[in-house]
Amino acid sequence: MSTDRYVMGLFAKESAVISAIGALESSPWKLVRVHGPYPSHPILHALKFKKSKVGYFTLAGGITGFFTGYALSIYSSVQWNLIVSGKPVVALIPFFVVGYEMTILFGILGTVLGILLSARIPEFKSLKEVYDPRCSGDRFGVVVRCEAGREGDLDAFLADLGAETRRFETPEGIGAAIDKA
């Protein structure tokens, strides 16, 4: 069984969440997740997320699509081997249209794949055990991980920042799913 425990601090104001995120950076506890009733750009900036890697998936999909389009066109023309008016069987300029269209198709598919992988969709383990319904109404929730036995210290730390706290007893698999998020 995991020795880590999860405590959620429920904040009424967005500014309190931002200051709590800053205070948790220099604390011994680990910020796991932030829940909110609406998307918040100041909270996103306070979390300091890394730049998305979805663009690399788009680039890889586009390059793959371009060469796949050319390869498909060349393969098709070589299989039929129809010589018309002495023109070459493999003509690269007309095949550019197919390569271009496949670039767009594979670029879109790469983007969708990148978004799904980056967002970890689908999430097979349910994380509803560490969620409070008030985060869908008027509160912001900050989920923090601490060692077993230190929940009281974390409760006091979050209360000093202006939060109402809630403790969670999470099964082993849920804690591992939270850590990956």
Dump pLDDT digits (tens) for 35-72. Answer: 999 999 999 999 998 899 999 999 999 999 999 999 99
| CATH number listed for the domain at residues 4-50+125-180 | 3.30.70.1710
Task: Give the residue, 146 or 123, on which the prediction is more confident.
Answer: 146
Q: Return the number of other C-beta atoms located less than 10 Å from residue 109's C-beta.
A: 16
Surface-to-core class of residue 13, CB atoms within 10 Å of its CB (0-12 exposed, 13-18 middle, 19+ buried): exposed
What tens digit of pLDDT does each residue of 112-129 get?
999 999 988 877 665 567
Tokens at residue 124, please? 């097979």
For the chain, domain boundaries: 4-50+125-180, 54-118
| Residue pair 43/17 in contact by the 8 Å Cβ criterion | yes
> How far is residue 12's CA from residue 75's CA, in Å, rounded to a whole number?
63
3-state secondary structure (DSSP) of residue 108: helix
